[in-house]
Chain A
Amino acid sequence: MKKTHLSILSALVLALSCVALSASQAAPVQGDKNAERKDTKKTEQKAATPDQRQMRDLDEQVQQTKSDVLSIAAELNQLEEKLLYPSGTQVAVFVALAKGDELRLDAVRLQIDGQLVAHYIYSAKELEALRKGGVQRIYVGNVTTGDHKLNVLVDGKLKSGGDFNRTDHFTFRKEVKPKLVELTVAGPDAGSTPITLGEL
């Protein structure tokens, strides 16, 4: 949301300034990217200024650097997974909100075999992302193969303003491959089970 507003703000600020400049009688029309684009198009190969060339060159290099860092991040991520969460013991728990649910999720606590492994408090931005259908990977860890107990404690607020607290107990079976567990949280208005578990 922040980015959305910021970009709208930026676009509007940009537009505003162009209007401002145009209307200020003394100032020439400038800073209008699209107007510049049109002029550039009209004169076909109108040469870019050295500053613009430098800007484009830099922009290209920044894009290339982003690509390099993304590639490093991906490799590092795989290395981390291999080192810290090998597939034989890896368990990952995901949290999703039921579609269209208006519950204000405040916090989720997870216990695996009685041990507190995650306690997450949600920001407004994260809650919004969950409401839009995003899924959060709340925990990645290691467990042995076999059955394990998972306790899920959810705190939140209902649309009416009332408190919402639920605790549910599940059992999941860890096999040799990585275990993915999805928890879907729903408020009482959704008409479904408060916390449902999906296994992969």
Chain B
Amino acid sequence: MRATRRIIGLGLILAMAAGSASAGSDKPAGQQKPSAKDKQSAKEKTSASAKDDLFFDEAFYHAYQGQFFEAIQRLDTELEQYHRLDEPGLDTLHRNIGEAEFSVGDFELDYRMHYKAGRAIKRVLEGAVDEAVRNEAAFRLARIHFQKDQLDDALQALGRIQGTVPAKIKNDVEFLRANIYMATDKPNDAIEVLNHLQNDPSLSGFVAYNLGIAQLQAGKQQEAVEQLNKAGQLSANDPAGLAIRDKANLVLGSILFESGNFERSKQSLDRVRLDGPFSNEALLRAGWADTSSKQFDRALVPWNILADREPTDVAVQEALLAVPHTYADLKLYGRAALTYGRALETYSGQIEKVDASINSIKEGRFLKALIREESREDQTWVIRLRGLPGAPETYYLMALMASHDFQTALHNYLDLEDLRSKLTGYQTSLEAFDDIIRLRKQNYEPLLPEIDAKFRELDSRMRVRLQQRKEFDDRLHAMLTAPRPDYLATTDERAASERIALIEKKLGNSDSPEALALRQRLARLRGVLTWRVETEYPKRLTAAFDHLNELNTQVDALNQQHEAFVRTRQAATHSYVGYDAQIAQLRKRVGSALKNVDLLMARQGEMIENVAINQLEARRDRLVAQQIQARFGVADSYDRASRAQSGGGGR
């Protein structure tokens, strides 16, 4: 029974792994895989009709590289701007807004900001959104609760899913439901759900495996064995699929081993890949299966392979002791003594390494090694750290990574280190901004008064001309309804008219024949003038409008120049005025955040060191116990070898 519980425990861990691997291979990172899958399908769906918002896609550019801080920052800024718009419907983000709201939550989860992510998704859930979006939000919220071990809340969130469920998450919802059932000891409910998911190719390996585990949890041992057997033979190409298949075989092998079916257990364990992450454990168990069925010579095959592997691995350390023990069982005492000797040597070496690791950690070198920039350049950094020359603090890092507490503490520590580095950069930026502002002030302040004075003069002249132009315009438009030909008389015509009037005035009231003749001539001349002005009025009015329109082009150019100048003038002032308070406040916030980060790093670092030391001390105790066994084994083997030799029966 204890063994069954243990195996169930082992199996449940895959629920999380399955959740994370369920979305295919093209995801940004972390446990929250569906985000990128959703994004991918969204892009496929929409790219034919319209373009995405560029900043939205830029956020994904960062997310796909695991730069979640930058991705959140980019998308948060976009969302904030979008929500401030008067007409958000016209913004390019509008068509991606639902996805953007979700994505920012996903990025926050990937950046291990569960609290904020949960709040963001709750906002979507409580907003006025359509059924499909609400259901997706409920699913994501449930997933967050599941990850935070809030299983009742997770089920409650899933209970909010009603009506249309987007096809892309339909099976993911059910898979999550099954995982929650398994984690809340409802294996029969989980089995029912998982049975319906078996046809989903993207989940096949995980569904098959979890179904087996759920059956085991429900006490259906035989069904579980058959199901895990099936899961252990599914075809897989991707690393996650291959790993889950190995895992199924390992768990099946363990169940069969515990139930005494050693031959079948061996068959299952033999299916685990030799280069996979479960191979050490499978080799160890395969050896135990052979020894349990008294096939000692066969047990030596997997154990000898294992004994040559990385000696910091716990399975390898166990194999080192199992190999000589088996030789002794085969009565090969000389061989046993030699391999016990090798084990003894390895244990001594490993105890020294553990001691060196503990001492190095106590001296604070472990934390420094973890944050080395070059250490984290690629995905194998954890493995490579172990091989760093002169860095004993990192020998057992892989073993430490097995602890969930250690992983959480380590992730947080690395995140804090990144934040510290960013904040230090911000301080430099603020200093640079101060410099820019100071230099701009030095440059502009002596120039601006003179420029402003000239501008004011030009501005007033311009306004006078514009006023005149407006008056012309008004007058001409008035003349369309109330014709005033005199307004359009030429200068010569006006002069002629004035001369006629002057002569008429000079003539006075004289009745002399000369005066009468002159008046007649003046009347003819005035008639000619009036005729010309009146008859040419439409033509002249058209010409006047043409001239006014020509003036409009000039006025528009003038206005544009004026506006450009005003903008440039404002930009000059805005380039150095009004930043002091903001920069001072930012500097204060950065300083305070930096202090906070330093404090948290110290606390987190201490926790990492404590967890590491505790784990390593436990490992040391184990190694010491193995060392004692090996020591005893060496002596015993020599004794037996001597006795056998003297008796003539041993080798």
Are A16 and B278 within 8 A (Cβ)? yes
**Known contacts being A20-B314, A133-B60, is A31 close to B69, with CB within 8 Å?**
no
Residues of B within 8 A of A27 (CB): 314, 622
Instruction: Verify A58–B115 contact, CB threshold 8 A.
Output: no
Measured in the bound complex, the distance between the Cα atoms of B58 and A129 in whole Å is 10
CB–CB B65/A126 < 8 A? yes
Does B29 count as interface, using CB distance less than 8 angstroms? yes
- CA separation between A103 and B115, bound complex, in Å? 40
Q: Which residue of B lies closest to A75 (CB)?
A: B586
Binds A, one of B10-18, B342-350, B387-395: B10-18
Contact of B9 among A1, A29, A77 (CB under 8 A): A29
A72 contacts across to B, CB distance below 8 A: 423, 426, 586, 589-590, 593
Docked-complex contact B402 and A135, CB < 8 angstroms? no
Answer yes or no: A55 CB below 8 A from chain B CBs.
yes
Q: Is A78 an interface residue (CB 8 A)?
A: yes
- Smallest Cβ distance from A91 to chain B, in angstroms? 13
Complex contact A69–B60 (CB within 8 A):
no
Q: How far is the CB of A148 from chain B (nearest CB, A)?
A: 16
Known A-B contacts A29-B9, A60-B115; A15 and B247 likewise in contact (beta carbons under 8 Å): yes
Q: Min CB distance, B109 to chain A, in Å?
A: 11
Complex Cα gap A22–B285 (Å): 11
A41-B151 contact given A12-B17, A72-B426, A79-B433, CB 8 Å threshold? yes
Does the CB pair B183–A11 fall under 8 Å?
A: no
Contact B47–A99 (Cβ < 8 Å): yes
Give the number of chain A interface residues (Cβ < 8 Å).
90
How far, in Å, is B293 (CB) from chain A's closest CB? Answer: 17
Could you say which of A1, A8, A96 contacts B21, with CB atoms under 8 Å apart?
A8
Nearest-neighbour CB distance to chain B for A175, whole angstroms, equals 12
User: Is A9 engaged at the interface, CB distance under 8 Å to the other chain?
Assistant: yes
Q: Which residue of A lies closest to B72 (CB)?
A: A70
CB-defined contacts of A5 to chain B, threshold 8 Å: 239, 379
- Contact check, B16 vs A34: say whether CB atoms are below 8 A apart: yes
Does A17 count as interface, using CB distance less than 8 angstroms? yes
The answer to whether the Cβ of B315 comes within 8 Å of any Cβ in the partner chain is yes
Q: A65-B416, A128-B64 are in contact. Are A73 and B69 (CB under 8 A)?
A: yes
Residue pair B149, A200 in contact (C-beta under 8 Å): no
Q: In the assembled complex, how far is the CB of residue B288 from the closest CB belonging to chain A, in whole angstroms?
A: 8
A119 interfacial contact with B, CB 8 Å = no
Structural contact, A55 and B408, CB atoms closer than 8 A: yes
A176 on interface, CB distance cutoff 8 Å: yes
Report the count of interface residues on B (CB-CB < 8 A).
Answer: 123
B110 (CB) vs chain A CBs: closest residue: A3
A21 at the interface (CB under 8 A from B): yes
Contact of A133 with B57 in the complex, beta carbons under 8 Å: yes
List residues of chain A with CB within 8 A of the CB of B607: 51, 54-55, 58
CB-based contact B43/A78 at 8 Å: no
Known contacts: A58-B607, A62-B604, A69-B593. The answer to whether A19 contacts B10 by CB under 8 A is yes
Alpha-carbon gap, A93 to B364, bound state (A): 45
B54/A83 in contact, CB under 8 A: no
Contact of B419 among A19, A66, A80 (CB under 8 A): A66
A23 contacts B379, C-beta separation under 8 Å: no
Is the beta-carbon distance between B14 and A15 smaller than 8 angstroms?
yes
Minimum CB distance partner of B238 in chain A: A8
By DSSP majority rule, is chain A's interface helix, strand, loop, or mixed? helix
Contacts of A64 in B (CB 8 A): 115
Residue of B nearest to A67 (CB): B116
Q: Is A12 in contact with B277, judged by CB distance below 8 angstroms?
A: yes
Check: B631 CB closer than 8 A to any chain A CB.
Answer: no
Contacts of B597 in A (CB 8 A): 65, 69
A47 lies within 8 A of chain B by Cβ: no
Q: Which of B165-173, B192-200, B471-479, B571-579 contacts A (4 or more CB under 8 A)?
A: B571-579
Give bound CA distance, A110 to B315, whole Å: 56
Q: A7-B30, A31-B404, A58-B603 are in contact. Are A133 and B12 (CB under 8 A)?
A: no
Please tell me if the beta carbons of A2 and B379 are within 8 angstroms of each other in the complex.
Answer: yes
Given A23-B281, A26-B622, A135-B61, residue A74 in contact with residue B240 (CB < 8 A): no
- Give every chain B residue within 8 A of A69 (Cβ-Cβ): 69, 419, 422-423, 593, 597
Q: Which residues of A contact B408 (CB under 8 A)?
A: 55, 59
A62's contact among B149, B318, B416, B575, by CB below 8 Å, is which?
B416
Known interface pairs A132-B60, A180-B54; A34-B15 also in contact (CB < 8 Å): yes
- Whether B586 lies near A58 (C-beta < 8 A) is no
Task: Check: B6 CB closer than 8 A to any chain A CB.
Answer: yes
Q: Check if B600 sits within 8 Å of A61, measured CB to CB.
A: yes
B254 at the interface (CB under 8 A from A): yes
Q: Using Cβ atoms and an 8 Å threshold, which residues of chain B touch A126? A: 61, 65
How close is A27's CB to chain B, nearest CB, in angstroms? 8
Q: Interface code B571-609, partner A: CB below 8 Å = 1, 0 otherwise?
A: 100110001001100100110010011001001100100
For A14, list chain B residues within 8 Å (CB). 13, 401-402, 404, 407
Residue contact A32 to B10, C-beta cutoff 8 Å? yes
Q: Report the bound CA distance from A126 to B80 in whole Å.
A: 27
- Measuring CB to CB, which residues of chain A are less than 8 angstroms from any residue of chain B? 1-24, 26-27, 29, 31-38, 40-42, 51-52, 54-55, 58-70, 72-80, 82-84, 86, 88-89, 94, 96, 99, 125-126, 128-130, 132-137, 145, 176, 180, 182, 198, 200
15 sampled A-B residue pairs with Cβ under 8 A: A6-B379, A8-B21, A15-B277, A22-B10, A32-B9, A41-B183, A51-B405, A70-B73, A72-B426, A89-B571, A132-B36, A134-B57, A134-B65, A136-B58, A200-B54
Q: A17-B403, A18-B9, A37-B151 are in contact. List 5 more A-B contacts (CB 8 A).
A: A6-B382, A16-B280, A62-B112, A62-B412, A137-B54
Q: Which 5 A-B pairs have the closest CB atoms?
A: A17-B402, A3-B29, A134-B61, A35-B9, A3-B66
